[in-house]
Amino acid sequence: MYSQLSNDISPFTVMQLVQRAGEFEAKGKRVVHFEVGEPDFQTAVPIVSAAHAALDAGQTKYTSAQGIIELRQCIADFYRSQDIAIPVERILVTSGASGGLVLLASLLLDVGDELLITDPGYPCNEVFAKLVGGVPIKVPVSAENRFQPTLADIQNAWGENTKGILLASPANPTGTMLHPDEFIAIQNFVAARGGFFILDEIYQNLTRDHVTYTSGLSLCPEIFVLNSFSKFFGMTGWRLGWVVVPEAAVESLTKLAQNLFISPSTPAQYAAVAAFADDTMSIHNQRKKTFEARAKILSQGLVALGFNIPVMPDGAFYLYVDISHTNMDSADFCWRLIEDYQVAVTPGYDFGDSNAGNYVRFAYTTSEESIVLGLDRLGKALADWEVKV
Ligand SMILES: Cc1ncc(COP(=O)(O)O)c(C=O)c1O
């Protein structure tokens, strides 16, 4: 009775872990959460106040499908502050990056068209392709190449029916970015085949100091870019994001946005305008520093416990950690950790198949105090399991 797609989709293992964590918490036990892919901070106060003001002013109707011009202008200014000139017309506000993915898949893929994605990668990507009859092709990426594809990987995976690629930089679950040279080489290859390049930048701005570019748009202005208010701007529940598309795509994408969503959430859009104000940006930048401090404590603590973090991330709030020295499969590792030590971590299987049994993702979306407690519990677990360093 239900669609093939709905039957094909598997639930995330992490949801079972989250459920188990909830059961422990209901019994009054403290769980350390390293599994959550969203900031633990509340949305910054100026954004919440702007939402109240918008609602009081009656901003409760549909907007244009592209989003309110004030917000699109803020986004254009945000790029201008990074020395990237994007005309407002190329920016469409969406219902989260998820809404952007529905729109771009609908715009760019026909039935049978192949889309190259990475493994490991954001698990929902393949579903967006399948939703429109596309065929996701997973390109395995590994620690040797910082979990990003090389030009050779893309060349090898590109087939007769391939129409484009979807990469993330920084990526989930690894936090790594595409090297600028590789990025340009891949884009040149894709463009020469008349293909499209979608770059998911939803972790933009949550990057480390050594990173040499902010947005891929500074290197390849004609790509499709996904972004979101969820992560750096701390607005996961508001369901708001944006896409930047080549000028030629604007009209078709607008038609799709009108039909599929009518418009993004109106109060959320007015709230998001406040996200770009200087005082709000300082709050976000301060939070970014907090994430960096946590990354340091967590990574140093994990290494001291004998874990291998083969690639230190360039951004986001994740560490992709090799647990092979425990001789446990990642699913087993995660399950035993929650069950016996109340520490929740996401197994590699939730991000693909490639070497997934050897990796787990730690999200440092929890306080320093929790991180220290989590490390302490991990230490106990390793001692109990008699894992040799
Ligand atoms: C790489 C990546 N892309 C897209 C999304 C979807 O984000 P949004 O909340 O903007 O829909 C996520 C969410 O975790 C993600 O990690």
pLDDT tens for each residue of 254-297: 999 999 999 999 999 999 999 999 999 999 999 999 999 999 99
- Say which DSSP state 341 is in: I
Distance 97 CA to ligand 1 centre (A): 6
- 126-151 as b/e: b if 16+ CB within 10 A: bbbbbbbebbbbbbebbbeebbbbbb
For residues 164 and 107, is the Cβ–Cβ distance under 8 A? Answer: no
Q: Are strands 359-363 and 346-347 parallel, antiparallel or unpaired?
A: antiparallel
User: Rounded to 5 degrees, what are φ and ψ at 286?
Assistant: -65, -40
- The confidence score (pLDDT) of residue 11 equals 84
In this structure, the number of other CB atoms found within 10 A of the CB of residue 339 comes to: 12
The CATH code for residues 4-42+280-384 is: 3.90.1150.10
CA distance 360 to 365: 15
Handedness of CA 12, 148, 236, 109 (dihedral sign): negative
Indicate the top mutation candidate among 43, 206, 228, 233 to test ligand 1's pocket, ranked by most ligand atoms within 8 A of CB.
228
How far apart, in Å, are the Cα atoms of 376 and each of 32, 284, 285? 11, 29, 29
Written as six digits, the tokens of 292 are 């960096």
Has residue 235 got a pLDDT over 90? yes
Number of the ligand 1 atom closest to the C-alpha atom of 95:
11
Name the nearest CA neighbour of 59 among 270, 262, 242, 235: 270
List beta partners, residue 190.
none
Q: Whose alpha carbon is nearest atom 2 of ligand 1?
A: 122
Burial of 73 (0-12, 13-18, 19+ CB in 10 A): middle
Q: Whose alpha carbon is nearest atom 13 of ligand 1?
A: 37
Residues with CB under 6 A from ligand 1: 37, 96-98, 122, 168, 172, 200, 202, 228, 230, 236, 241
- The confidence score (pLDDT) of residue 157 equals 98
* CATH 3.40.640.10 domain locations along the chain: 49-277
**Which residues fall within 8 angstroms of residue 290, CB to CB, at 6 or more apart?**
none
Q: Whose alpha carbon is nearest atom 14 of ligand 1?
A: 37
The band of 14, judged by pLDDT with boundaries at 50, 70 and 90, is confident
Handedness of CA 211, 213, 216, 219 (dihedral sign): negative
The band of 61, judged by pLDDT with boundaries at 50, 70 and 90, is very high
- The confidence score (pLDDT) of residue 209 equals 87
For residues 216 and 165, is the Cβ–Cβ distance under 8 A? Answer: no
Q: Whose alpha carbon is nearest atom 16 of ligand 1?
A: 172
Domain range 49-277, CATH architecture? 3-Layer(aba) Sandwich (3.40)
pLDDT digits (tens, 9 = 90+) for 296-315: 999 999 999 999 999 999 99
- Say which DSSP state 278 is in: H
Name the nearest CA neighbour of 124 among 232, 201, 9: 9
pLDDT digits (tens, 9 = 90+) for 178-218: 999 999 999 999 999 999 999 999 999 999 989 988 999 99
Distance 172 CA to ligand 1 centre (A): 9
Strand order in the sheet with 318-322: 318-322, 359-363, 346-347
Q: Are strands 91-94 and 32-33 parallel, antiparallel or unpaired?
A: unpaired
Count CA atoms within 13 Å of residue 84 on its CB side.
20
Written as six digits, the tokens of 161 are 């029916």
Distance 333 CA to ligand 1 centre (A): 25
- The confidence score (pLDDT) of residue 151 equals 98
Indicate the top mutation candidate among 14, 43, 122 to test ligand 1's pocket, ranked by most ligand atoms within 8 A of CB.
122
Indicate the top mutation candidate among 176, 202, 232 to test ligand 1's pocket, ranked by most ligand atoms within 8 A of CB.
202
Distance 202 CA to ligand 1 centre (A): 6
CA distance 316 to 207: 6
Distance 95 CA to ligand 1 centre (A): 11
Number of the ligand 1 atom closest to the C-alpha atom of 99:
11
Indicate the top mutation candidate among 92, 98, 320 to test ligand 1's pocket, ranked by most ligand atoms within 8 A of CB.
98
pTM for this model (two decimals): 0.97
Has residue 13 got a pLDDT over 90? no
pLDDT digits (tens, 9 = 90+) for 135-183: 999 999 999 999 999 999 999 999 999 999 999 999 999 999 999 999 9
Distance 236 CA to ligand 1 centre (A): 9
Distance 387 CA to ligand 1 centre (A): 35
CA distance 207 to 216: 13
Has residue 343 got a pLDDT over 90? yes
* CATH 3.90.1150.10 domain locations along the chain: 4-42+280-384
Count CA atoms within 13 Å of residue 89 on its CB side.
7
**Which residues fall within 8 angstroms of residue 284, CB to CB, at 6 or more apart?**
44, 205, 232, 233, 234, 275
